Amino acid sequence: MRGSDMSLRLCLPLLICAAALLPGCTSLGVKPWERDVLARPDMQLDSDPLDAAIDDHLYFSKEASSGGRSFAGGGCGCN
């Protein structure tokens, strides 16, 4: 089907890129005493969980996509 061809064409190269980058990850990063900026509340990936939950619920009920950042399951009957 059209959909799965597209997905394979795009997802596979993306996965290969990600896997190729992984060894490079060992040279990236900071020393423990350089984590001051990263410790800021606004630099946490889960800085605003309720905003994310409310938005996720809104988009789950109005669009055909969900998830990505977290599990895609809806858990509600709105789609």
- Which residues make up the interface to another protein (CB under 8 A)? 1-4, 6-7, 10-11, 14-15, 18, 22, 25-26, 28-38, 40, 42-43, 45, 47, 49-51, 53-55, 57-59, 62-65, 67-79
Cα–Cα distance measured from residue 46 to residue 38, given in angstroms and rounded to the nearest whole number: 13
Question: Shortest Cβ distance from residue 60 to another protein (Å)?
Answer: 10
Token look-up 């394979």 returns: 8
Assigned token pair, 14: 């993306």
We find the least distance from the C-beta atom of residue 26 to another protein, in angstroms, to be 6
Which position has the token pair 């789950």?
A: 60
Least distance (Å) between residue 15 CB and another protein: 6
35 — phi, psi (to 5°)? Answer: -95, 15
